[in-house]
Amino acid sequence: MAEIQDEGELYDEVNVVPMLDLAYVLLVIFIILTTATVQGIKVDLPKASAAPSLAESKTKAVSIAADGTIYLDTYPVSLSELESLLGQYRAADPDLPVIVKADSTIAYQRVVDVLDLLGRLEITQLGLVTQRVVK
């Protein structure tokens, strides 16, 4: 290894502290950017005025995409699978809150089918997600 002489001192090491500082800053930026993305199914929500949110950690989200596919949280399910899974969740928590997000372009009957299913399961903590109108 080459030695550098500066004012009578010999250096035989490379100072890695600035390089480590840069690596830590890049790591923090990477962590922040990757955790900032929102997980879920993208749906085009209908417009409505501001309303209170039912979003909690124990809340289950039922999403209906533009093609009519039903999702429980982020997993695609059929109506019978949805009924079975929500029945199990409701057995564990009788006050299970459920929010329904439906694309504004889907057939209204698909939303009614999901709402009927929630009624059969006697889920009373129900919210419909809409998008705020920006003036």
- Same-domain status, 18 and 74: no
pLDDT at 45: 77
Digits of tens for pLDDT over the chain (135 positions)?
555 555 667 767 778 888 899 999 999 988 887 776 656 677 787 777 665 554 445 789 999 998 989 999 889 999 999 999 999 999 988 888 999 998 888 888 888 999 999 999 998 889 888 887 777
pLDDT at 100: 92
Report how many domains make up the chain.
2
Residue 40 falls inside a structural domain: no
CA distances from 48 to 1, 3, 55, 129, 130 (A): 70, 71, 17, 9, 6
Residue 41 falls inside a structural domain: no
Tell me the C-alpha distance between 41 and 24, whole Å.
Answer: 33
CATH of the domain at 116: 3.30.420.270
Residue 86: give the domain boundaries.
Answer: 47-132
What is the reported pTM? 0.57
| DSSP code per residue over 62-131 | EEE-TTS-EEETTEEE-HHHHHHHHHHHHHH-TT-EEEEEE-TTS-HHHHHHHHHHHHHTT--EEEE--E
Residue 42 falls inside a structural domain: no
- Same-domain status, 24 and 54: no
Residue 19 falls inside a structural domain: yes
CA distances from 121 to 1, 43, 49, 71, 125 (A): 75, 25, 28, 17, 11
pLDDT at 33: 77
10 Å CB burial of residue 41 (0-12, 13-18, 19+) is: middle
